[in-house]
A and B are shown apart, each in its own frame.
Chain A
């Protein structure tokens, strides 16, 4: 919403400066977005009279102008062809900075003639790009006056943001009312007394709705004015409209635009001679068309309110007028419309046909239902003033809907909710100055809501009105003290896990990324077809059209982007939600990551290797450990879902059904789809699947039992089938003597060479830890024999000799 300072002061009797007004507007909730003061910096530029313009003695294209600045008479050398004796121009004295080019003006001799100042062009003044000649001011421009005032640039434009509840401030009058309430002056009354009509309107009005849709247009006021003379509107009106960015068109059209912004009262003027019969308002017929003022044609249906005559629809009610019935320079008889249109239908129509008009903007927020007739009177007066003519009597169909309501403001409520003591007299004064009718009934304030405040419905709204006008700044801050003197832990287990997973993975060298929660359905299909429910109806691009079934799609895409930027060693992770369905319990928290390329940077020592599945396995394991998974019960299984390499992937499971994590190489098919080359490994940890530790109270740890007796290490190498999982062998060995064996580790695996096909050698180290006395050779041999027997039994392998 834009207006100028002078425009505001048409409604507000006030001496307030622009600064005061701007500060107050923001303080009462009408946030100032911009103030444009075109006169800023133009003070030194004044009106000067060219006493004589004569040719420059030494230059063909220059003239020497003797100018009267009002305080002195001096010579200025000028290159403009239109400089002539007797004109009035814009004089810039020596020492001023020219706005158009930033140059500081100096006294100078130009081709031998002293020049003391300059006559300026529009471009030099920064008004426009015009530089063919100097500005020629009207003959009656007073010499010596600041040019900004003479040219009408001295009226600063203020733009404020209007929140959707404040439709009353979509007119300058409403803004002035708020400022007056805030103590910045007095609201000037409007001249709404009826303009007498000299005859009965030849155009009648009618509302044609059934009872169900009557709210589409509850009221329509019309007036016929004959014998108008349309033409350009006067300068003051054009200046106002231009100042707020509107293009002046003609007096009749400019009048409607002016009243729309002045009083938040949209109007429409029909060329009455184009109308056929009376005017009525109804819902459109299916397929009916309107040629609108924006040069577009719209095909309508029964959801749309139209203003029509006997020949059909003329205009979209509350949204836009029609081209054929619009006013032109030749228009001599007009029919003015002031109506009420239903906000919901108006908004829907505007959205549907993507028409943003100033009328729609106001109707969809709700206009003052009691101001329809007043608006018509003001419009009539203005048309007669600007265009002459002879007004008819007003014709009215329908009436304002019932808007009257009264709200009780209990004593103490402003303090209890608003946190500030406002004296009762002040509360009353504020409400009354905003237009509320206030009565005291048994100690409570009864506030009658004015018709222009459709946003005020309850006591809290009144508290807001009082506090915002009284000033939020005045509300004393009260500390929000914690009920516990020492703050208690607030995070839930799941929240702790999310944090721990992030910090452990970053600690392991992976970069945390945040990627979109949606992804490309092309990639998502590798994770099984996403449910149709999970597709977005209005995706921002076709690449982000479905909720992600896994974090991996976006992580892989992020990996690809980094490869394309020249990164070779990439390690990324994300902790976030995946979506198996649309219900809250189908959203799962997952920590997933990928590593690609060499595991470490190239190093002069020659060390280093590419990432492999065991890196991803280690990451997954580290997360599980960090989030408190019951590690003793976790089993490693070969294989993972279809998006993994079937032979180079695994999972960590809890029992037969619960998968805690997956890891491995990505399926080559998907990598190919993304155009990423190996080596690349990934992991996914399903944080929600990790059970909470049960029945554990406190953080006491079990007693530490260690023995100082020397441990004994024995190594074994077994020949087993290639498909025997190492874990089976390790478990078998460990189970051979649960009292003595404390650790079994794999230290060598090899196939080929002297070994038969289908066989591999697995070497393990077994540590025996006695607790009572040092082991004898015989005892050690006995345990070793048990290890060999257990392994052979479990795996069918043999001890290598």
Chain B
């Protein structure tokens, strides 16, 4: 049985790939298919997967603010809050940005450098 983390990842991959909102049932079927297609190589994501498990995963993702539910309609349909690219951009903004406490949150190999300093380093690189 796949861990919840792996399932969250697989579900997000499906939601990011698909254009439309999907129900938990659709997602379960897609997960089962992807396991068959890959010959189970990518883990046992879709094997013996219950719809309730998919719903658990979806509610966890919803709590994390990654997935939203279309209300009023049953069964509920789920979609990604923003695209994979937007989330990557959000992460990189946190890494590259100049938030005051960023330095305490994560340690970058190189902090932000000014344009003139980068120029000096490029010259250095040209001569080495």
Task: Specify whether A and B are partners.
Answer: no
